[in-house]
Amino acid sequence: MHDEQGWGCGLLVDMTSSFILRVLLLGSLLSTFPVFAQTLVERLGYPPGTKLLIVHADDLGETHSVNAAVIKALQGGTINSASLMVPCPWFPEIADYAKSHPDTDFGLHLTLTSERVYYRWGPVAPADKVPSLVDQNGYFHHDWEKGERINAKEVEIELRAQIERALAMGVRPTHLDSHQYRLIMNGKELFDTMLRVAHEYKLPVFVTRDWFADHPYLQASLGPSDIVLDHTVTMEPEIPPEKWADFYVTALKNLKPGVTEFVIHPGYDDDELRAATRERPTWGAAWRQRDYDFFTSDQFREILAQQKIKLITWRELAPAAEAR
């Protein structure tokens, strides 16, 4: 975990307001009054040491199987947040649900790749406006090969198109995140693009301090009004199926104080999802069924209670950013 001081230094890079600079200097002089050292947990009004958890399902809109499984799990209450892939063909189904369930915590899972083989999608923006994002058949690239020239201006066009379609279809997103972390892990220019668009739409972006060491540009670009989660946990491809529950149980038992987002991928292991993901087991149908099973289980519910972990959503985080 990175210290608050390091984060404070990062802030200075981007700040131009002399007022804010003076306040920062004052803050460092008056170290007994640590207004800028306040953690996200404290800003949310919880005592230090509180363990807050977002249980966040990815990839809604990609398949009906994932939509159906996550809707069922959201209704059960232990999965409490999710994000939607606007370019995908089942987006209308989940947009319709979001519209009729306006209190649900739905973000947009900004999507720039079409990573499957037998089931694919392309950009929301006209393909000729985002040529660097599409392959020779007009789909998003399956992957970004080393040296793939992704044009940040085209990324911005596509992100705006995704957000505008979601808004036009009645979705009121609570946050933005990035499918396959493409906008997080691929350099400052793409991250800044996402952040600029997010600021314009007044939406928080999913970023965690866990990523700062490997990607220092994240810290450098974030401002004082941005929410930064403390930690994230996600399943690792090397975990065998029989250790699935163990992995999550261990993570929950070792959960650190602060706000953590579990990034999970529930779905039903049915014909559609098996066909859509059949070229590899990672994030495949059986994987997603295991996630569904664990996060809707009594075991999960009991560990939350036992470990005094409180569930929280992006709906509660957004006001913390505004209040800052």
At residue 243, the 3 state secondary structure works out as helix
CA-only gyration radius of the chain, Å:
20
CB of 118 to a copy of itself, least distance (A): 4
Q: What is the per-residue burial (b if ≥16 Cβ within 10 Å, else e) of 213-248?
A: eebebbbbbbeeebbbbbbbbebeeeeeeeebbebb
| In the complex, minimum distance from the CB of residue 121 to a copy of itself, in angstroms, rounded to a whole number | 6
Pairing type for strands 106-110 and 309-311 reads unpaired
Instruction: Report the C-alpha gap between 98 and 24 in whole angstroms.
Output: 41
**With b meaning 16 or more CB within 10 Å and e meaning fewer, what string describes 304-320?**
beeeebeebbbebbbeb
Nearest Cα residue to 296 out of 248, 236, 232, 230? 248
Contacts of 22 by beta carbon, 8 Å cutoff, 6+ apart? none
Q: Which residues bind a copy of itself (CB under 8 A)?
A: 64-65, 67-68, 88-93, 96, 117-121, 124-129, 136-139, 161, 165, 168-169, 268, 270-272, 275-276
Nearer to a copy of itself, 47 or 126 (CB): 126
Distance in angstroms (rounded) separating the CA atoms of residues 165 and 124: 8
Q: Do residues 155 and 183 lie in contact, with contact meaning Cβ atoms separated by under 8 Å?
A: yes
Q: Which is nearer to a copy of itself, 67 or 186 (CB)?
A: 67
CB 115, min distance to a copy of itself, A: 12
**Pick 161 or 255: Cβ nearer a copy of itself:** 161
Minimal distance in Å, beta carbon 67 to a copy of itself?
Answer: 8
Q: Taking the complex as a whole, how short is the minimal distance between the CB of residue 112 and a copy of itself, in angstroms?
A: 17
SS3 (DSSP) at 216: helix
Least Cβ distance, residue 78 to a copy of itself (angstroms): 23
